[in-house]
Amino acid sequence: MATLQETTLKGKSALITGGGSGIGRETALLMASSGAHVVVCERDEEGGQATVTQIQEAGGRAALVVADVSDDAQMRSAVETTVKETGGLHVLFNNAGIFPDGDGSPVDTPLDIWEWVIDVNLKGVFLGCKYGIPAMLESGGGSIINTASFVAVLGAATSQIAYTASKGGVLAMTREIAVEYARQGIRANALCPGPVRTPLLEEFLADPEVRARRLVHIPMGRLAEAEELAQAVLYLASDASSYVTGTTFMVDGGIAAAYVTPE
């Protein structure tokens, strides 16, 4: 049994969606440095290639697949390419997600925004699992980590109905997958980050008033760093978490534990 001190992904392959920035990029870099052969799946070719280049320059193994996670054929192809490039699939990190302008209250959110968010954040995770699970079974099992959010467990401080609903769906889907495949060597866990200092959130928190409303709910008083979430993903991906499945893995700076936060 692996320990935290011995955490390694040597000999394993990992497919990471949304690996061109933020949590996805930091996780790709960390997994590669831990021995994994990483395939970055990214719609933004420039961002994805930058991650791959960083890995390769550091002596790691990585490849890029350009794909839209909400497209059935593209995700099937992404998994097929991963298996062809690396010889199998042992770690699947369904991380890609969006949080567009216009996602607000139920009465104000346009239908096209709702459908776009659900397509990427929920359907994208479903498609990753749909095609990733058979490849993982062929590889002898593995670990699935799906990015949900603390708002899958708690109501958000600001209106974001499509995002919150999509992440709630990811959480429920992850539990079901964990139960169904537990005896077939596949573990599935939902990573639930609190607010993370990524380009996506920094853009949203550009308004000082919005930022202040968010930070007051975080007992630690700061946003998480993407590297901190990557460490949590590495744990869930590795054999150090061999008896961990079906969890709501909160990495939220204490948000879920707080009733009121001191000023």
| Radius of gyration, CA atoms only, the chain | 18
Non-local CB neighbours of 57 within 8 Å, separated by 6+ positions: none
**Is the dihedral angle over the CA atoms 46, 34, 187, 226 positive or is it negative?**
negative
CB atoms within 10 A of CB 71: 16
Distance separating alpha carbons of residues 152 and 29, to the nearest angstrom = 27
Answer yes or no: are the C-beta atoms of 91 and 189 closer than 8 Å: no
Query: For 184, which DSSP code?
Result: G
Catalytic residues: 163
